[in-house]
Structure 1
Amino acid sequence: MTPPARVQAAIELLDGIILAARDNGPAADTLIAAYFKARRYAGSKDRRAVRDLVYAAIRRSGELPESGRAAMLGLASENAELAALFDGSPHGPLPWDGREPVASAAAVPSWLTPLIAAPLDKDEQAALLARAPLDLRVNRLKTGREEVLAQLPEGVPASLSPDGVRLPEGSPIEQSPLWREGLVEVQDEGSQLIARLCEAQPGQTVIDLCAGAGGKTLALAADMQASGRLIASDTIRSRLARLEPRAERAGASFIETLLLDQGHEAERLEPLAGMADCVLVDAPCSGTGTWRRNPEARWRLNPVRLERLVAEQARIMDSGAGLVKQGGTMVYAVCSLLDREGRDQVDAFFRRNPGWAADLPRDMPGRRWGAGILLSPAHDRTDGFFFARMKKSC
């Protein structure tokens, strides 16, 4: 592919990604993979160059662009070499006359700006779009961090998590025996801290209420030394199905899975009422804290969806609270930097549930924010998270 043809390919892909964002369609990665599957003539360098252009345009455009061309022109308006490729050559984009709509540059969509947690100034908001490193969690059921670091020359110890190892972005860890043999799992350092906040112990009953594919469940299994009762529940069967092979690889086959019926979870959870030493509620959320990994998520979020998420979070928290025994804890976490989903959500929980109190350890990394902790890429070099631990006193 010629350089102009790569730009045109990026524009076509962006058109599809913008349409999918409007209609809640496939993710950008899925669309990119399908695009190149139908275009076998594109070599690896072409695919990489086009992908880089697509994601550069997505990262630059806070608001949903009018079109893929507008998004790419926005990028070209800041790059003379890229602008020169709008030359009308065969398979390339039509020339740019300077009068067409150009996507505006912003880190945060304008409607979301007032909702971002106050400690995040403009510089911190911009860091939400930087490329993320690759973090690993060492599986203590099988090995230790020093043994893993000895096999990863480019790896460095994570600064906040005692089980964390950081690698350069794009490292092919899934081709490594370390991953295939279950010695490490890919997990952001902030996510590792959330699992550690549960302080799960051998012999306890621990419930991961929104387990997904089980990343935090596996971390809890290591803390429990594969002893006790660890239950991973979710409402999406395909997510839970991915946990079983991961657990087997990690040496954590003691994990139980529980498929829930969304909106009717109480029926399946009733036998567990008042039994858990700890319940982890890693709630569905806007994902604003993961924009550096998934920048197109900014285009998919809207006020109506946010309202639904906030209501769902509150409902799940109240459901999880009923599973905790007296003296037990519940950890609430969202990969979000919006106060509606974080600080305000926990404050509202305390108002609805007077028998609970904040229970954060004093030495927890991150910034105290309300009754919880705020992590951000600029301040903590992790994905963005809000999390809190609450103790049931009666």
Structure 2
Amino acid sequence: CVLHEERRGEGACAGDEAFVASSGVGCVPALASLQQPGLLDALALAAPGAVDWPEEPVARLAATCSLPEWLAERLVSSLGAEESLSFGEAINTPGPVTLRFNAAAREADPSASRETLAERLAAEEGLRCVSGVLSPHALSATVAATGGPPRSIWAIGAWKDGLFEVQDEGSQLIAAAVEAVPGERVLDLCAGNGGKSLAL
């Protein structure tokens, strides 16, 4: 890695010996000054879409969609140049923020539902929520344009009140498919932060 070598030789950025790509953003000014003094100015002035991407389909897919070349080769081979590029763009698109209404909240408030949660999130937080497609407890949430910085979902009052968890619909379906009943023991062998365990 060029940045790794420059860090060692010039002390451009402090930190661990191993370079982690996501931490490289803070090192860009130092690297730019070492390699190309006008790089930052050029980047700031570059028009969107001004990058001269490779013409060759595999190289173009790998570069534009941040895919390893071996995967780009397989995709272009099986899907063709155009469809593989569409696929690459699709897998780089962030997924929706999906919430799971906590059905256990009905014990404290029998009127609690996915719909009342959506109404509360719209009124209090400006979140636009639509019902999920597959799970009866899912809400897909998008932030309304407020002009301010986005608020952490974990700072939302309804989350603090235990009315929802952030959980994709696939995980919600797994919890529903188990059909756990009170008194059963269920071992979740692929637990992340415990969302499916909470749903069970």
How does the TM-score come out when normalised to structure 1?
0.30
Partner residue of 2:47?
A: 80
Partner residue of 2:71?
A: 112
Structure 1 counterpart of 2:132, from 158, 162, 168: 158
Partner residue of 2:117?
A: 148
Structure ranking higher in helix proportion: 2
Hey, what's the Cα distance between the residues in 1 that align with 2:118 and 2:151?
14
Helix, strand or coil at the partner of 1:217: helix
Judge conservation of contact 2:153–2:159 (CA < 8 Å) in 1. yes
- Structure 1 position 202, deviation (Å): 2.8
Partner residue of 1:20?
A: 20
Partner residue of 2:125?
A: none
Partner residue of 2:100?
A: 137
RMSD across aligned positions (CA): 4.3
1:189 aligned to 2:169?
A: yes
Runs of 4 or more, structure 1, over 6 Å off, are none
Unmatched tracts of structure 1, length 5 or more? 1-11, 22-27, 36-49, 51-68, 84-102, 221-394
Judge conservation of contact 2:98–2:166 (CA < 8 Å) in 1. yes
Hey, what's the Cα distance between the residues in 1 that align with 2:65 and 2:155?
36
Judge conservation of contact 1:134–1:171 (CA < 8 Å) in 2. no
In structure 2, do the counterparts of structure 1 residues 138 and 32 end up closer, same or farther at CA, with 3 Å as the change threshold? farther
Helix, strand or coil at the partner of 2:69: coil
Hey, what's the Cα distance between the residues in 1 that align with 2:65 and 2:96?
22
Unmatched tracts of structure 2, length 5 or more? 1-11, 29-35, 51-61, 106-111, 123-127, 144-149
Helix, strand or coil at the partner of 1:182: coil
Structure 1 residues 274-293: aligned runs within 5 Å: none
Structure ranking higher in strand proportion: 1
Helix, strand or coil at the partner of 2:100: strand
- Structure 1 position 107, deviation (Å): 4.5
Partner residue of 1:125?
A: 88
Helix, strand or coil at the partner of 2:19: helix
In structure 2, do the counterparts of structure 1 residues 201 and 167 end up closer, same or farther at CA, with 3 Å as the change threshold? same
- One-letter amino acid of the structure 2 residue matched with residue 19 of structure 1: F
Hey, what's the Cα distance between the residues in 1 that align with 2:168 and 2:98?
5
Helix, strand or coil at the partner of 2:158: helix
In structure 2, do the counterparts of structure 1 residues 161 and 171 end up closer, same or farther at CA, with 3 Å as the change threshold? farther
Hey, what's the Cα distance between the residues in 1 that align with 2:93 and 2:48?
22
- Structure 1 position 32, deviation (Å): 8.3
Q: What is the percent sequence identity of the aligned residues?
A: 39
Judge conservation of contact 2:101–2:163 (CA < 8 Å) in 1. yes
Structure 1 residues 247-326: aligned runs within 5 Å: none
How does the TM-score come out when normalised to structure 2?
0.55
